[in-house]
Structures are given as structure tokens and as C-alpha cells.
Amino acid sequence: MTVHGLLSAAAQARPEAMLVVDGAARVSYGEIEERAGRIAHLLRTVGVRRGDRVGLLLPNSARYVSAYFGILRAGAVAVPLHTGQVAASLAASLADCGATALVVGDGAALASARGAAPMVPSLRTILTEAMEGEASPVDPPADVHADDPAVIVYTSGSTGKPRGAVLRHGNVVANTRSIVRYLELRREDRAVLVLPFPYVYGASVLHTHVAVGGSLVLHGSTVFPNKILDAIAEHEATGFAGVPSTFAILLHRSDIATRRFPTLRYVTQAGGPMPPAHVRRLVEALPGTRVIVMYGATEASARLTWLPPEHLERKLGSIGVPIPDVELKILREDGSEAEVDEVGEIVASGPNIMAGYWGDPAATAEVLDAAGFHTGDLGRRDADGFFWVVGRKREMIKSGAHRISPREIEDVLLLDPAVEEAAVVGRPDEVLGEVVVAHVTARPGQHPSPEALKRLCQANLAAAKVPVAIHVREAMPRNAAGKVDKLALRATASAG
């Protein structure tokens, strides 16, 4: 089964069934399938061939869903990209994967795409919605297989250079089927979605509901959290997915504790640890709704573990047990398996694990070996077989739905000629999980301005990566090896 085959099967079974509620529009499986076929034809017309990479720069919408499946139907590899990126950041991802085409929306996204285009030698075509309207024939799906790449999802690496995780059709379909099993999804399920599709969590909600013939209600943002609750009630949603910041906003800024949602069968949470107090409050606010804590990674096509709701109170804080068809181990530094409750690295294996990072065999070798995928998270397994994350081997900052590399921000701060050293860490935040804090030292005789450095970051980084605070220090704390002691900086950030 291919990823676009999931859509085709559902469209053949029930073409009139609703797939997407996008504002006032209700778009059926049959309509999405037909639009995907037209987009596949247009892509082939402009020269896209099997295996070519095609960027996708659109907000959550029915058009995104059609374009995504259309790219796959054409035999190409979809490269979902977050809207709001500056041109340089967008160009870096497109150039890295050698994208030949880019499907884009209007406004700022189109301006960013046009700004990026001269920096991407491989990019031949920017497809707008107006061009799609001219495509009339519906092309049949290309001959692709489970081992062929389907999606490249960019995630910042420890060096700051974006790394493209290559997910094969078989990876995505395997993970989709596993999630469908433990969530017990069925065609009657309807989820309200606030997570962006380019984020693997958001993509997995799309894949799983298409796999069972369910539907999605697209909701733009969490700016007005009560409107999310209104959408759940109005559309009689059975499911809702969020990261810790999503639920923090709902718990602190909405009427969730005083409202009732009789159709809401489950909510899922992933994207980083949620404070146990928030989990308890969510359970209290949603009586009769299954609250499911999950853990995963982009490189795992989304999901690795889940905590069955019946164990939630007894194992609060745990990431649960492996999902169907996934094996998890705790390994020591020497590669041997740790004992019960002994801390080591969480290593996963299964049919959902990526093929590797696009064009980066060295980075691939750092995380993939015979043992499986090395998550970079430190954890333990208890006597009952439940897994617990106790820390991160890497320095990645998890802020809301974003994974942020400190090195990327440090490199921007060092563009200021007054800065001698830069060190970026995460500071705990009740809503986002973590926010970015920067520390810099001055070159002799120089006086870096925090305000000027913030403007520099705003001009070169996505909004989520801009530090909320920039501290100018006389010197950096250092460990015995002479390296900057980021643990000390994190302690300072947490105290502040």
C-alpha cells in the first residue's frame, strides 16, 4: 500500500463521504481524489518525474490535502514546509533536496517562494492555485512501491543544518496502521485539527483518518481557544490532538473545565512532555474522554509509544509502551541493553523508521545502526515494561510544536561583529514547554546590544526561534573540559 493508495481506497469505497471541513467548504473523498489526479497531471506537464522532490508551502487547507496526495500520485516525493519561513530558510531546504517544483499559496508565502527561487538552482516551477485551475485531465497514479520515498520532513539537527528525514511509503503506512489500531479509529471518527500538516504529528492525524475513511475539521490556530471548543461541539468531533502548549492554552485560557463534549471519545498529546498537573486537569475537564499520552519522532514517521488511559494515573509521567509493530530498548553507551530502571538511550526499531537523512550519510550513521534508531533521549524501562524519558542526550529545544537547534540561533548571533561567543538554551515555560534564551559575550572593546541582536534574529530566523531574552555576560561558565557549560546556563535560565 502506498500513502496515496490510502486515499484512493477510501474514495472508491465512499466517494461522497466528507474528508475535509475547511471553513465553509465541505470537501468529499471523491473531490479530493479528483483534485489530486488533476494536480498529478499538472506536475507531470511541467516536467516532474517519478522520484523528483516537490515542495509544499501551504497552510492547512483542502488544497494542501489535494496537493499532498497529488504530489505522491505523480510518483514524486512531497517536501512539506512550514509557512512563514524567511526566503533564506526556505531556500536551504529546497536546495538541499534538489526540489524541482514548489506548490505555494498566495501572499507572504508566494513572496517568500519568489525570494527563495534564485537560491535554488534545481527549482524550475512555482505552482500557484491559478495554474491548478487550468489543469483538466485526471492522471492515474504512478507506479511506486512501499520502499520508495514518499515524504522528506525537515528537522533541525544538532549542528543547526536542517536535516531531511526520508520517510518511505511503507514507513508511513505502517505507522498509520499501528496508530489506527491502538486509537481504535473508525470511519465515524471526526477530528478537529489545529496542528500543522508539515509537522509529522499533524500529518499522522491526516493519514490515520484517511486510512479509515474519517474526516477532519481544519481549525486555523489557538489564538481564540474557545473557538476550538466551539468547533468540537458544533461538528460533534470524536477526537482532538495537541502538543503540550495546545492543552496549556486550553486549560488556562478557555472554558474547557465548564463545558461538556458528549461526542469527544479521545484526545491525544505528543510533541514533548506535558506537566503531570496539566494531564490531571485535562482528565478532570474531560470526563468520559480518553486522554492518551504519546511519544515519537519525525524519524519514526510520527509515533513510537502510547500510554493506555487505564494506566494514566498509575504511570503518570511515563511515555507508556511501544505501539504495535514497534520495539523499544534502553541501551548503554557500549550498546548493551540496560537493566530495569537503569538509564540509557531510547532506541527504536520497526517498519516505521525512516530510510535516513536526505543526502547526509554521516548524520544518518549517527542515529541509525543495527540496533535501530537512536532517539537521543535518555530513559528507563520499569519492571512493568513502561518507558520513562529522564532527559535529552542532545540539546534540542522543544517549544510548542517546534524543534529548535541552538546552533542555528548561535550562528545568527555570531553574525554581529560585537559578539565573541553565543550559547542558546531552553527555559521552562508553562505554555510552550520551553522558550529560547540566548547568552553572549562581547569582543574586546565591544558592547553588544540585546535589542540589536533580537532584530538580527528576527531578520534571519522563524519567529519561534527568536530568543525571548538575550543576556550579555562577562564570561561563559565552563566545564572541566573547557567547554561552555550549558547545564549551568539552563539552571540560570530556569531560575530567571
Total domains in the fold of the chain: 3
Structural domain contains residue 155: no
| Residue 158 falls inside a structural domain | no
What single letter denotes the amino acid at residue 420? E
Residues 382 and 437 in one domain: no
Single-letter amino acid code for the residue at 488: A
Mean pLDDT of the chain: 93
Query: Are residue 2 and residue 129 in the same domain, yes or no?
Result: yes
**CATH code assigned at 437:** 3.30.300.30
**Does residue 244 belong to any structural domain of this protein?**
yes
Report the CATH number at residue 309: 3.40.50.12780
CB–CB of 452/474 below 8 Å?
no
Query: Which amino acid makes up residue 114?
Result: R
Q: Which DSSP string corresponds to 108-170? A: HHHHHHHHHGGG-TT--EEE-HHHHTT----PPPP---TTSEEEEEEEE-TTSSEEEEEEEHH
Stated pTM of the model: 0.85
Closest CA to 305 of 294, 318, 297: 294
If asked whether residues 85 and 208 sit together in one domain, one would say no
Query: Within the chain, how many helices (H) and strands (E) appear?
Result: 15, 26
Map grid coordinates 514533548 to a residue.
Answer: 272
Q: Is the domain of 99 the same as that of 138?
A: yes
Strands of the sheet with 18-22, listed across from one edge: 25-28, 18-22, 215-218, 190-193, 239-242, 266-269, 290-297, 302-307, 321-322
Give CA torsion, residues 470, 475, 481, 487, to 10 deg: -40
- Predicted local distance difference test score (pLDDT) of residue 223: 86
Q: Which residues of the chain have pLDDT under 50?
A: 158-159, 480-481
Position 130 in a domain: yes
Pinpoint the alpha helices (H) of 169-275: 169-183, 200-212, 225-234, 244-253
* Residue 149, domain member (yes or no): no
**Do 19 and 216 form a contact (C-beta atoms < 8 A)?**
yes
Is residue 362 one of the residues assigned to a domain?
no
Q: Per DSSP, which regions of 370-432 are E strands?
A: 372-381, 387-392, 397-399, 402-404, 419-429
What angle in degrees, to the nearest 10, is found between the helix axes of 3-13 and 29-45? Answer: 140
Given this model, what pLDDT does residue 404 score?
85
Are 198 and 339 found together in one domain? yes
Residue 59 lies in a domain: yes
Instruction: Give CA–CA dist 305/175, Å, rounded.
Output: 11
Q: What is the pLDDT of residue 495?
A: 66
* Final residue of a structural domain among 110, 144, 178: 144
Q: Given this model, what pLDDT does residue 174 score?
A: 98
Antiparallel, parallel or unpaired: β 433-442 and 419-429 = antiparallel
182 and 126 in a single domain? The answer is no
Is residue 424 assigned to a domain?
yes
C-alpha cell at 334: 557500549
183 lies in the same domain as 270: yes
Q: Which CATH number does the domain housing residue 108 bear? A: 3.40.50.980
- In this structure, are 73 and 87 located in the same domain? yes
What pLDDT is stored for residue 382 in this prediction? 98
Contact of 243 with 268, CB cutoff 8 Å: no
Same domain? For 129 and 246 the reply is no
In terms of domains, do 178 and 318 share one?
A: yes
Residues 488 and 386: their CA atoms lie apart, in Å, by 31
User: Domain span at residue 83?
Assistant: 1-16+23-144
188 and 330 in a common domain:
yes
> Which DSSP helix (H) or strand (E) runs through 453?
helix 450-460
Residues 272 and 135 both lie in one domain: no
